[in-house]
Structure 1
Amino acid sequence: MRKLLGIALTTGVAAIAVHSFADPLPADATYRPLPTLPFSAVKAADEAQKPAVMQRQQQLLNQRYDLSMRPIPGVMMSGGRKPVQGGVRVKLPPGVTWETLAQMSPAEIKAKGLLPEGFKPLPHVKQAAGGQVFPNRQIDEIARQEQRDLRRFDVDFDLPDHLTPEFPPPIFLTTHPHLGDVSRGQVLTLTNFYEILNGIVTPVQMEGMRLLLTPFPQEEFNQTEDRKVALPSRGVACMDCHANFHTNAAFHLTPDLRPQASRFRLDSTSLRGMFNQQIHGSKRSLRSIEDFTEFEQRTAYFNGDHVSATRKGPHLPDRTNQVAMMAQMQNIIDFPPAAKLDPFGRLDPTRATPQELAGERLFHGKARCAECHIAKQSFLDHQMHDLKLERFYRSVSVNDFMPLPDGPIKTFTLRGIKDSPPYLHDGRLMTLADTVEFFNLVLGLKLTQSEKEALTTYMLAL
């Protein structure tokens, strides 16, 4: 069983079979073992494997999606620097249309193997190793400002830049809505945050900001020999994934599941609107931002492994003097302005277009979106829901990933949703049009093409 990750789960890439000395977790184990070869040998092997690893992931992405640049005319993300991509990107099986697929039962789709591959869970770029993977723009900016290295020698980020959030994302504060974006068009780091926020936030919030920007050791970014960066590292900061309190599409693996081959990919979620959210973490259901902040620092940075964390030097923040301050800073981050929404989250009919209003009616009616995404609650219901997607497909190994049923996942807010591609908890859907097709099939909504387009247009206004 312990040979499983190194042999049985490889899929045609011989070089990837060289795992036993570097794997973070044997397939049947709970705790991460120590490396058994010198760091130089591990690094050399990982670098030799990297081209094949990246080629294999790119082949999977190209098989599942249309990754071309197809922006929606005139629709920009909230910072005004990046167009929103449109169109359905998930590819259909040969001979099938979205209309014919929507008429089939889950059992029939499963029996015939017709669920689009892009609707299935998306594997990590290197499942056997896992860990945080950052987009190049974040890597380059942190290297420029802090001389800290977030570039792994074993993998690269796998999605094209135009299908990720704008960078840097704007920052909106509940305490200063009149100021608009307070980021000055910069990525907040330890080198510039004080100058940017001085006179705007309180001393307590400023201290929370400092902690959120301070790097601490993480599984792949640390001083120990099992790291995945060339030189000993100070680690990563909360804001390395949640850039400017939003997201840059950095991803890792859920800390909440074993074995390693079944840990699902997690796309970094936005921290906008934390003040109005009651559960945190896609699977953990942590009940306050304080709990989430403390848990992240103690174990999630280390893939849910407190034993490995102790060896690397964990940060054990004080609940009163540190965690509360970090939470206070996170809880003043607002959603981007939505000029067409009234105070109850409904469209103002004097500002909205007929298509947007039609989409809102569908959202609250036939499409059933509002049953989970409640408008007056920041488009949330503070609950976990299980879509039971396994009704539609048989689980098979892909790129060393053996998916289990997703199980209950928390409801994510739809406010400012155009700023947050890719979508779903693992980033398996590239556009909002993809999400409409996904839920139309999974929930059996039977939406027409014009209804799908209206619903997408409505979500762009949120």
Structure 2
Amino acid sequence: MSRSLRGTLLVTGAVLCSLAALSDPLPPDTTYRPLPTLPLSEVRAADEAQKPQVMQRQADLLNQRYDLSDRPIPGVMMSGGRKPVQGGVRVKLPSGVTWDSLAAMSPDEIRERGLLPAGFMPLPHVKQATGGQVFPNREIDEIQRQEGRSLRRFDVDFDLPDRFTPEFPPPIFLTTHPELGDVSRGQLLTIKNYYELMNGIITPVQMEGLRILLTPFPQEEFNQTEDRKVADQSLGVTCLDCHSNFHTNAAFHQTPDVRPQSARFRLDTTSLRGMFNQQIHGSKRSLRSVEDFSEFEQRTAYFNGDHVSATRKGVHLPDRPNQVAMMAQMQNMIDFPPAPKLDPFGKLDPAKATEQELAGERVFFGKGRCGECHIAQTSFMDNNMHDLKLERFYPVGQTVNDMVMLPDGPIKTFTLRGIKDSPPYMHDGRLLTLADTVEFFNLVLGVKLTQQEKDALVAYMLNL
């Protein structure tokens, strides 16, 4: 790390400390989070007073970066059939620039002229200095209705418009019962209804794993201690609070694997569909089994990567053979949504696909280079991690909403199966639509697609 960049991080950390001092008893720029120094009543009062300003600042950032209007793709719905898929490029271009002119420039020229669209940059947490898990309102309301358990923080709210989040509740598809289709019956799985919904469909081992995945355990912001971010003492959160119905609801937190706080990037909840085919887990950690991931999460994502904090707040240490294995077994039963136009090898059936979709497939596996990482035979992923080196296009070290813009580094390849169900895109949700994602990779990979090829590529991905 260069001396100037290290200085930027240290200064930013100090600024974050001063900004958080009024509302957060835990200085955010140390490896370990120290014990609280302020009573909950003072922290809550300060947080609630600052909340409108915090949310307005994030809203301003989103409006600066994106077109947030409601523009669904005509006739295209998510797999449950209840929510339209948003279309069009939503990332705003700098004044006087077109997508074609931008794609014709070199990375050095884009960086030197400051022309990388802000929407392609890392997306800060809604409250970077504090961080922690933030849930969308529909998840909060449904958990409150079913369980009387509150996931509502007093310091922040979810920031993205609902139209750019997955269908809620998502459908559930089982590898063991493809003939049943969606087994959720349109309901969100919780500790209150899981047995009734799944009885007679899954095995005793799977049922026990499901019970544990739906049991609340203490988490950094949702617990009994005085540095929580919910008004009442909390039982905590469950694995499936974020991974609703084994999919995602776009809840986010910060990566547990990076320090200082100003450098921790936003982490969007990923889908658990198709876990049976995935060989690495975690955006950065590259954990090698579902069992490792399930066990490690209890002390990393749940506690911002601080196992010491977990011990104080009520650590949960699941037993490897009798609990973790059952949790993993249940997760490995979750299938992707049906893709009726794909053949057994992941290629479009020419008898079912349109000419535009077939053209998009040719771009995907050819000029667009998508298929080099998103391999059809392995659920459109390659079980590897890749560094896109986006920092070629922007000056490293600038600060946006208290987050220092640093290189993303290696990130795992996410599956594209059922991708229309999983907005927003990228590991931090910085891209709102598939059209945004196509423009992003067109620039980063330098493949120079025509508009016709871009449209065909989106049409193709809607069928995966």
Deviation at 1:18, TM superposition (A): 4.9
Whether contact under 8 Å (1:24, 1:32) holds in the other structure is: yes
Written as runs of structure 1 = structure 2, the 5 A alignment for 1:174-193 is: 174-193=175-194
Whether contact under 8 Å (1:77, 1:83) holds in the other structure is: yes
The verdict on how the C-alpha distance between 1:91 and 1:5 changes in structure 2, with shifts beyond 3 A counting, is same
Whether contact under 8 Å (2:363, 2:369) holds in the other structure is: yes
Whether contact under 8 Å (2:13, 2:261) holds in the other structure is: no
2:318 aligned residue: 317
Give the distance between the partners of 1:8 and 1:18, measured in 2 at CA: 9
1:238 aligned residue: 239
2:454 aligned residue: 452
Question: Which whole-Å deviations, capped at 9, do the CAs of 1:205-224 have from their partners, x for residues lacking one?
Answer: 00000000001000000000
1:379 aligned residue: 380
Written as runs of structure 1 = structure 2, the 5 A alignment for 1:201-350 is: 201-350=202-351
Give the distance between the partners of 1:392 and 1:114, measured in 2 at CA: 8
Give the distance between the partners of 2:366 and 2:424, measured in 1 at CA: 25
The verdict on how the C-alpha distance between 1:47 and 1:20 changes in structure 2, with shifts beyond 3 A counting, is closer
Q: What secondary structure does 1:298 align onto?
A: coil
Q: Report the residue type matching 1:346 in the other structure.
A: K
Whether contact under 8 Å (2:423, 2:432) holds in the other structure is: yes
Deviation at 1:9, TM superposition (A): 4.8
Written as runs of structure 1 = structure 2, the 5 A alignment for 1:7-406 is: 8-9=15-16, 17-19=19-21, 22-27=24-29, 29-395=30-396, 396-406=398-408
2:444 aligned residue: 442
After superposition, the CA RMSD in angstroms is 1.4
Question: Which whole-Å deviations, capped at 9, do the CAs of 1:57-104 have from their partners, x for residues lacking one?
Answer: 000000000011100000000000000000000000000000000000
Give the distance between the partners of 1:70 and 1:199, measured in 2 at CA: 41
Give the distance between the partners of 1:249 and 1:441, measured in 2 at CA: 25
Give the distance between the partners of 1:26 and 1:143, measured in 2 at CA: 30
Q: Report the residue type matching 1:412 in the other structure.
A: F
Whether contact under 8 Å (1:70, 1:86) holds in the other structure is: yes
Q: Report the residue type matching 2:56 in the other structure.
A: Q
Deviation at 1:157, TM superposition (A): 0.1
The verdict on how the C-alpha distance between 1:21 and 1:431 changes in structure 2, with shifts beyond 3 A counting, is closer
Written as runs of structure 1 = structure 2, the 5 A alignment for 1:405-424 is: 405-424=407-426
Question: Which whole-Å deviations, capped at 9, do the CAs of 1:243-275 have from their partners, x for residues lacking one?
Answer: 000000000000000000000000000000000
Give the distance between the partners of 1:24 and 1:445, measured in 2 at CA: 46
Whether contact under 8 Å (2:107, 2:392) holds in the other structure is: yes
Give the distance between the partners of 2:22 and 2:283, measured in 1 at CA: 30
The verdict on how the C-alpha distance between 1:155 and 1:5 changes in structure 2, with shifts beyond 3 A counting, is farther
The verdict on how the C-alpha distance between 1:63 and 1:239 changes in structure 2, with shifts beyond 3 A counting, is same
Whether contact under 8 Å (2:23, 2:47) holds in the other structure is: no
Q: Report the residue type matching 1:454 in the other structure.
A: A
Give the distance between the partners of 1:366 and 1:299, measured in 2 at CA: 39
Deviation at 1:403, TM superposition (A): 2.2
Count of residue correspondences: 456
Whether contact under 8 Å (1:255, 1:300) holds in the other structure is: yes
Q: What secondary structure does 2:404 align onto?
A: coil
Question: Which whole-Å deviations, capped at 9, do the CAs of 1:273-318 have from their partners, x for residues lacking one?
Answer: 0000000000000000000000001332001100000000111000
Q: What secondary structure does 2:159 align onto?
A: coil
The verdict on how the C-alpha distance between 1:9 and 1:26 changes in structure 2, with shifts beyond 3 A counting, is closer
Question: Which whole-Å deviations, capped at 9, do the CAs of 1:346-384 have from their partners, x for residues lacking one?
Answer: 000000000000000010100000000000110010000
Give the distance between the partners of 1:78 and 1:228, measured in 2 at CA: 34
Give the distance between the partners of 1:21 and 1:187, measured in 2 at CA: 34
1:431 aligned residue: 433
Deviation at 1:26, TM superposition (A): 3.3
Q: What secondary structure does 2:280 align onto?
A: coil
Whether contact under 8 Å (1:245, 1:270) holds in the other structure is: yes
Deviation at 1:8, TM superposition (A): 2.8
Whether contact under 8 Å (2:22, 2:43) holds in the other structure is: no
Give the distance between the partners of 1:81 and 1:201, measured in 2 at CA: 26
Whether contact under 8 Å (1:170, 1:183) holds in the other structure is: yes
Whether contact under 8 Å (1:23, 1:128) holds in the other structure is: no
- 5+ long unaligned stretches in structure 1: 11-15
Give the distance between the partners of 1:18 and 1:372, measured in 2 at CA: 41
